[in-house]
Each structure stands twice: as structure tokens, then as C-alpha cells.
Amino acid sequence: MEQKKRMQELVDQLNQASEKYYNGADEIMSNYEWDALFDELSQLEQQTGVILPDSPTQKAGYEETAGNKEEHEFAALSLAKTKSVEELKNWAGEREIWLSWKLDGLTLVLTYDNGSLTKILTRGNGTVGTNITFLQNSISGFPKKIAEKGHLVVRGEAAISYTDFKKMNDLIEDEDEKYANPRNLAAGTLNLDDPKVVKERHVGFHAFTLVYTQQEIVSWGKRMDYLDELGFDTVDREPCNASSVASVVEKWTKRVENGEMDIPVDGLVICYDDTEYAAGGTVTGHHATRGGFAFKWQDEAVDSRLKYVEWSCAASTISPVAVFEPVQIEGTTVSRASLCNISEMERLGIADDCVVSVIKANKIIPKCIKVKDAKGTFQIPEVCPVCGAKTQIHISQKSNTKTLHCTNPDCIAKNMKNFSRFVSKDGMDMEGLSQQTMLRFINEGFIHQFADLYHLSEHAQAISQMDGFGEKSCENMLRAIEEKRKVTPEHFIYALCIPMIGTDAAKKIVANIGFEEFCNRMKAGLDFSDIDGIGEEKSKAIENWYAKKQNQDGFEALLQEVEIDDTKSAMSLEGSLKGLTFVITGDVHTFKNRNEFKAYVESNGGKVAGSVSGKTDYLVNNDINSTSSKNVKARSLNVPIISEDEFIAKFAR
């Protein structure tokens, strides 16, 4: 009786978490906690022989709450999961297999007939999904027309990169409305009815299997190559077998640990190369026995004594961070982990004196998952740690989440995104100054305005003793700042964080009137709308920005710290490449990197686009015979594909 009661509790908890997870709402538990509860439920079902109605062990997903529902032509079943490499070896047996990423997004199923996209369904509960075909022009990564004229069904993952996730969250002023992670944002985005808003969020489709084709292709690897030829963005993959899968798993895991993945992943997937053999398995529970095997990393939970809770102000929210005795987790020393908000602290049971269990979620982010030996309670600060203004607890109407806020509208920490923009590659390009690092400096009182970054050496001793720093890392950071005292005018203008003045606008200003005239006009309150591509709205934004005394003071203080190098302009109105649009892909060897290549094109009047279109004049790729999606699209549009050497021979002067 007790077992059945516990099983019902687990079913209710897991289904509640799944509903929020699949519908883009605030998540109420980590993947680590969900997996642990799911495993406990599975074990109880095996012990008792009882499966309760609505058990998540029998579902392939979770049905979305809105939208027109349609039945899948081919059931989108879940994969069996393991955290054991030995199980992967046993599953592979004597057969050739492929390893690919388990992307952390939402599964979509695309259907094509007679060469045209006819349907996009979400995975839903695996049997029935939601029709979102109306979003076909808002999601990238797949063609609308293909050369295959028969019936074709493709399954893949819709995901948002960490880069785009960060950009999107930076635009949301209210911390209560920010998204927890890229997967949460992707789920919320695909529930929207406005295609324009969906497109702005840069959801990308990554095909991970060709479900059905009338072509006689048995090999899974060749099926994926075929999708590449048709113009789909496909998941990375590598062939292996039982004897090599362990080393391949280790290699791919290192890629995640080293921060190489911009697209979020939460594991790996192996599948048989022989698709006919794979289709011959049976269906057990909510997955096919030969349909594939998902490998999820064994999160290493380590206990440590909590030293204190640090309250850090960012934007309008003051967030708690657990600071604990340093511990080794998966090869790195960890001593801090976000506690998110007051509600999460209450859920965990954080106290002044306690032990916290910490993991690195998805091999990357330190996260507290449990509290032990709690004594006492925790204190909520009454004043902001940055400006000293009174604090206030907000309760979100959307999720009932409690967050702490600074009541001072002019608190410097509320301008954190401006500091991130200032040090970015398009700005001053300062390495070693992450948003988290600068936020700590702001909370310590080291930084009040941009120019203060050039005086961090005055706090070198204190910084070198801060958690996560040392003398060497402090020296490297200060050296990187000093090396960036010389800056081109367009990078300087972008770094000022003038609303509506991005990289393109900054380049146009410099190319048309030069930096000195820009300064003269701004100080005199003169108009910029005569510059092509600026217009009245952006001109007014410059005027309004400089009208604020704190911006004037900050501008003058910066000019005392940096040297404006106006000998080079990032974009010339005239030049050998005027009127030409290029797309640059793959590795380069003559130019230092693609950014340098791009700068050369723009300095000679050309444009560089991110994707191939009818407006592209040349695709530059040193692998001219590649079957990548860009090459395939270029050929379909009759866009010339040239190598870097051919570009230099044809256009360099």
C-alpha cells in the first residue's frame, strides 16, 4: 500500500513537471531531480508489477495545452536511456552504430510531398502532436522545397543557441519574465501565435533522423548525408562500434566540458546504421527496443558545507548565490552555485547552517539540488548590496515565484547588459570579463562606469584573493584590458551603448562623417538623419543619449583612457567590393579568422551575410565540393562557390 501511495506521488510530481517543461512555463525541478524520480518510479513499477494510469514511464512526451492536434504518421517514441557506457556497448553488439548529440530542445516532425513542405508537427505525446506549419518561415534549418519528389518525413530538434538565448533574455527587463534556459525559451516560443516574434528568437531545426523516404537508402549514415544534400541542417555524428564507443563518448563529453557547444545538449544518442534491423524491434513501454539508445551523463553530486549566501544585484533583481567550501566536481574546483530566487531557497530548505549537494548540470552549470543537516533559517537583505537602497520582494503573477528587487531605478547593477556590450567583441573586445565577473566587481564597488574598467589594477590585490581568481588570472585580465586601449571608432561608438546604434549604424556613421565629426555633432546636438541608414529615429536616440549628464561624463572619461585609431575604417562606401555580397563559411588559412576576412570585405565596400540567398554574389568555402547545406543551397541558386585563394586572386588589390 505504501509503495502504491509513493508511486502516485511520483506520477503526480513528474507529470506536473513535464507539463511545465513541454509548454515553456517556469521549470519546477532540475533534470537531475526529474531523472532520479523517474528512475524511482520505474523501479517501483518493476517491483510491484503495477503501472498507474497516466504514468510518465508510458509516455513519449507531454501533450501541449494549445493548438490544432494531429496524429503522427509514424509514432515519435522516446529512447531508452542509460548512464552506463557498458550498456551502450551491449546494445551495439556486433553492429555498426552512429553517435550523435541529444539536443535539448523540442522535437518536430516535418513532412514533404512532391518536393514541398506540407506539415510541421510537434512531438506532443508521441502519438498526437500540434500542427505548427504556419511557423515554417519563422524557423531556420530546413528547406521549404526539396529535390525529393516523393513522400518524405524528417524528425529533428528545434533549439535556441546559448548565444541567442542570452541576447533574448537581455532584452527582458523584468527578471521575473526571463527564461530559465534555452530549452525553456524554445518551448515558450513555439507556443506563440505570432510568426514574426518566433522568427526574431532564432529557433533552429536540426534534423536527427530521416523517418521515411521512398529512396532505397538503408544506412542511417547515408540517410543523414541525403538530408544534407537536400539542404537540412543536421546533427553532428560519428560512426563507431562496441569497441570504440567508449572513446567516442569520452571525446564528445570533452567537447561539452570545454564549452564548444553553443547549441544546448543534455546527452548523446547512439543508433544502428542498419535501419531495417532497427525497425525490426519491439515497442516496450514508451520506446522501441532498437530505435536508439540515449546516454545521459552521470551527474556527480558532491556535498559541501555552506559558508554563506551572497546576494548579487543584476538588472532589477537581487539573486542569491550559495558560497560553500571548495569541492572537486568532474575535474574542476567549484565553490559557488546560483540559488535562483527566494522560492528556490525555500523549496530546497536553505538555512544559515547546512550542507548543500551540488552537481554540474549538463556538465556545465553548478547547481544546488539538495540541502542536508539544515539548522536555522536564511536572512533576506533589507538593502541592495550595490547602492544601499531598500529592497522589496516581488511575487510573479505568472509563476508565483518570489524574487528580491532593488527599488532604486538608477542602481548601476541595472545596467549590467551595457557593461557586457562594452567588453564584447563588437565593442572593446576585452577577454576575461564575463558578465558574472563584472557583476562581482560592481557588487564589490570596483566599477561605477565604463572608464573604471581601466583602473581595476588599483584593486589587483583584492581581486587576486577573490574566489575563482588568483594572481595569474588577475594579471591576465588586467593585461587584456591594457591591450584594448587602442580601438577603432566604430567599435568605440558601439561600446557606448547608445540605444538603436548597433555595429552597422556605427560603421555607417564613421564611413560617412568620421569620428571627429560624430563627436562634434553629438556635443552640439546636431542631426544625423542625413546619413544613409541612420534616419530620424536613430538620430534622435543619439541626441537623447548625450543629453543625459551621466553619459556625457562617461563619454569624456572614456576618451581619457583610450586611443581612437581612425586610420582604419571597418566599412568603406567605395572600394573594389562595392555592391557585392559574400557568405564566408568553413576554415580559412590566409586570413587569421573569418572575422578578419569579414572586416577585409567590409573595408572594401562589400557586405558579408550569414546565410546564402538570392542576393548572395559569392559563397567562399575552401571545401568547394562540400555537401554542406550552404554549398547545396548555393548550387540550387546558381551562386558561385569560390575558395579563399580564388577570392584573393579575383578581388584582392
Catalytic residue numbers, as ranges? 102
Nearest to 337 by CA among 314, 362, 369, 315: 369
Residue 210's beta-bridge partner residues?
154
* Dihedral of alpha carbons 47, 49, 52, 57, sign: positive
Give me 304's grid cell: 559541501
Residue with cell 515519435: 76
CA distances from 41 to 4, 9, 11, 16, 500 (A): 10, 9, 8, 15, 52
C-alpha cell at 381: 537583505
Report helix, strand or coil for 561: coil
Give the integer Cα–Cα distance in Å for 433 and 19. 38
Taking a C-beta distance cutoff of 8 angstroms, is the pair 571, 490 a contact? yes
d(CA 539, CA 499): 10
Rg (alpha carbons) of the chain, rounded to whole number: 27
d(CA 540, CA 534): 10
Note the maximum CA span of the chain.
83
Indicate the helix (H) or strand (E) that contains 389.
none
What DSSP element (H or E) covers 79?
none
CA dihedral 93, 97, 102, 108 (to 10 degrees): -120
* Chain centre distance of CA 28: 20
DSSP string covering 12-24: HHHHHHHHHHHTT
What is the DSSP track for 172-219? Answer: ---GGGS-SSHHHHHHHHTT-S-HHHHHHTT-EEEEEEEEEESS---B
Q: How far apart (Å, rounded) are the C-alpha atoms in residues 250 and 85?
A: 10
Residue 46 falls in which region: left (phi positive, over 0), alpha (psi -120 to 50) or beta:
alpha
Q: C-alpha angle with apex 158: 369 to 119, nearest 5 degrees?
A: 140
- Please state at what angle helix 549-559 crosses helix 535-547, rounded to 10 degrees: 90
For 508, phi then psi, to 5°, come to: -65, -40
A 10 A CB-CB count for 627 gives 12
Could you tell me which of 264, 233, 267, 260 has the C-alpha nearest to residue 166? 264
